[in-house]
Structure 1
Amino acid sequence: MAESGGWSTIESDEGVFTSLIENLGVQGVQFEELISLDPDTIRSLSPVYGVIFLFKWLSGRSRDATSPEDGTYDQTATENGLFFAAQTIQNACGTQAILSVILNHDESSGSSTLAPINIGPELSAFKEFTAGFPPDLRGEALSNSEVIRTAHNAFARASPFVDETQRPAPADEDADLYHFIAYTPVNGTLYELDGLQPHPISHGPCDAENFPEKVIEVLQRRIARYPAGEIRFNLMAVVRDLRIRAQEFGDMELLERENQKRRAWAWENSLRRSNFVGFIGEVLKGVVRQKVKDGKYEEWVETAKKETQRRAEMRRGNI
């Protein structure tokens, strides 16, 4: 059984999320970051299977088992084929939100007017295995999936000092905590899928065509509940691989841009998995040896001390 410490924190990044699902065997899907709450931007990426929303968790709000702050609980949605899993583990909410979209638009769902997603053998087996489970057991099954956990943890930042899979509860009650949830149209309804809620949340009738307008309305209402000036949100669309569109329309310029983007993602992800502390330490040792050899070590240290002091005084407003 996987323990809560077995899942690391990963970044909200389109390259990370795309590579993560590809490592799980999903084909023909990618993530695109949305920089504005604009329905036309979402529509320009069609087909869009859903969006992943990252937001700052507001403490002090109790969860109401009978009514959410917006929308209504749909207690029969899972019985009608919706994939929804309760979140039973820390740090897994990003991957859980991703799967909340992906697993509701595969071939077995039969609930979407969009082209079905090829989720691959591993996720197909997972979905089939958990088909009759209630949300809490689905959450446990997800938490204990070695395949999903390994794909998730592949994007943890390397560190020689701490085990980033260990995440103790913050001592500061005011510490910033962030959470991922998913919005997706399934069975003609816009659903908010949040593993910390007791049930899927329905936001009314919705299909793939009017999803951009509907989801933006919901997101705007949610953001309006935050203090004015709060900007710490992130929104990503789950879309069909844009290289497929480029090939279908013979758009070689778009195809090249997307291929360049994939190369950049691969490079950035390799850096995320790399630990440069040892390299930096060796460089610093080499610099020190050279300063000692040149007889300038003491001068170098004193110069650094003066510069540090100058910057500290500038921060205090003394200069």
Structure 2
Amino acid sequence: MSTWIPLESNPEVLTKYIHKLGVSPAWSLSDVIGLDDEMLEWIPRPAKALILLFPITDTYEKHRLEEHERIKMTAETEKHPADLFYMRQITHNACGTVALIHSVANNKDVDIANGVLKNFLKKAQTLSPEERGEALEKDEDFTAGHQELAQEGQTNADDHMKTIHHFIAFVNKDGLLYELDGRKSFPIQHGKTSEETFIHDAAKVCKEFMARDPNDMRFTIMVLAAAQD
């Protein structure tokens, strides 16, 4: 298992990254300043994914294990959209790239030009979530792109190789709100949503993450949305 330099939660750098991967310049990432309804109205539309960066604490890990056991009981009977793109994170510190892949791959109207990401998604289409994670680790072009962009943030990424933060993505897939986390064995469904309510529905789940660690302020949120002129 290899280790990448962790990505910084920097929308300017991550926007440059997705464009380099082939995502259309019509889309970009920006910070979500607050989760109150009035603040969410400032988010550019259409918004296609929320990306949450949060601290991996003992409280969160306890919740994750309990959630795993609960969902494992129904995993064989729970149905997900056939084209839901979900992958496991095999590579250390690749969570930022995995979250971006989840965000783009599950939004068909986000155009992707020929290049690194389109090639990867084509190869990964018929693979299992675990095989997709392994394919990402072996993809030399993806590795090079990640490592290059990880060093463009405002902090020294090499000082944070043992990161305690984790990126995940929230998307609206066929009217259902999904949490896509490469550290989990399953995609997590959070109920019904719509294009109109997606941001507010995903924000509610982000608030639940924060409520589990109310004394920790190390949360940041970005949105993948239409680029602003």
TM-score (norm 1): 0.62
Two-structure CA RMSD over aligned residues (Å): 2.5
**Counterparts of 1:238 and 1:189, CA distance in 2:** 17
Query: Displacement of 1:145 after TM fit?
Result: 1.5
2:149 counterpart residue number: 155
Amino acid at match of 1:219: C
**Residue 101 of structure 1 corresponds to which residue in structure 2?**
103
Q: Distance in 2 between matches of 1:80 and 1:215?
A: 22
The 5-angstrom pairing of residues 190-269 of structure 1 reads: 190-226=177-213, 228-243=214-229
Residues 49, 185 of structure 1: 8 Å contact kept: yes
Structure 1 residue 75: Cα displacement: 5.1
Superposed displacement of residue 125, structure 1: 2.3
What's the secondary structure of 2:136's corresponding residue? Answer: helix
Do 1:30 and 1:239's aligned partners in 2 also have CA atoms closer than 8 Å? yes
**Residue of 23, 28, 31 corresponding to 2:29:** 31
Cα offsets for 1:114-153 (capped at 9, x unmatched)? xx11112122222121111110001111122222222211
Matches of 2:217 and 2:54 in 1, distance apart? 9
Contact 1:42 1:237 in 2 (8 A): no
Structure showing greater relative contact order (alpha-carbon pairs closer than 8 Å, 6 or more residues apart): 2
C-alpha spacing 1:219/1:43, structure 2 compared with 1 (3 Å): same
The Cα offsets for residues 59-101 of structure 1, whole Å up to 9 and x where unpaired, read as 3526243326xxx868542x61101100101111011101101
Number of residue pairs matched by the alignment: 216
Q: Deviations over 1:147-206 (max 9, x none)?
A: 222221112338xxx994994xx6xxxxx7110000110111000000011110000011
Cα distance between partner residues in 1 of 2:157 and 2:192: 45
Provide the C-alpha distance between the structure 2 equivalents of 1:82 and 1:75, rounded to a whole number of angstroms.
Answer: 13
Q: Are the aligned partners of 2:6 and 2:157 in contact in 1 as well (CA < 8 Å)?
A: no
- Specify the code of the residue in structure 1 equivalent to 2:82: N
The more displaced of 57-66 and 9-18 is 57-66
**1:87 corresponds to:** 89
| 1:274-285 matched pairs, under 5 angstroms | none
Aligned to 1:269: none
Aligned residue among 124, 141, 155 for 1:130: 124
Once the two structures are TM-superposed, the CA of residue 240 in structure 1 deviates from its matched residue by 1.1
Instruction: Provide the residue aligned with 1:290 in structure 2.
Output: none
* Aligned CA distance change for structure 1 residues 153 and 38 (closer, same or farther; 3 Å): same
- Do the aligned residues in 2 keep the contact of 1:8 with 1:165 (CA within 8 Å)? no
CA contact (8 A) 1:75 1:200 kept: no
* One-letter amino acid matched to 2:208: R
1:20 — aligned with what? 17
**Compared with structure 1, are the counterparts of its residues 33 and 210 closer, same or farther at alpha carbon in structure 2 (3 Å cutoff)?**
same
Q: Does the 8 Å contact 2:28/2:226 carry over to 1?
A: yes
In the alignment, structure 1 residue 11 sits paired with structure 2 residue 4? no
Partner in structure 2 of residue 66 of structure 1? 69
Q: Residues 242 and 166 of structure 1: is their aligned pair in 2 closer, same or farther, counting only changes over 3 Å?
A: closer
Contact 2:51 2:221 in 1 (8 A): yes
C-alpha separation in 1, matches of 2:224 and 2:93: 20
Q: Secondary structure at 1:66's aligned position in 2?
A: helix
**Rg comparison, structure with higher value:** 1
Question: 3-state DSSP class of the match of 1:239?
Answer: strand
Q: Secondary structure at the match of 2:195?
A: coil
Given that 1:39 and 1:212 are in contact with CA atoms closer than 8 Å, whether structure 2 keeps it comes out as: no
Question: Structure 1 residues 231, 166: CA separation in 2 closer, same or farther (over 3 Å shift)?
Answer: closer
Give, in angstroms, the shift of residue 58 of structure 1.
1.4
Distance 1:166 1:218, change over 3 A: closer
Amino acid at match of 1:239: A
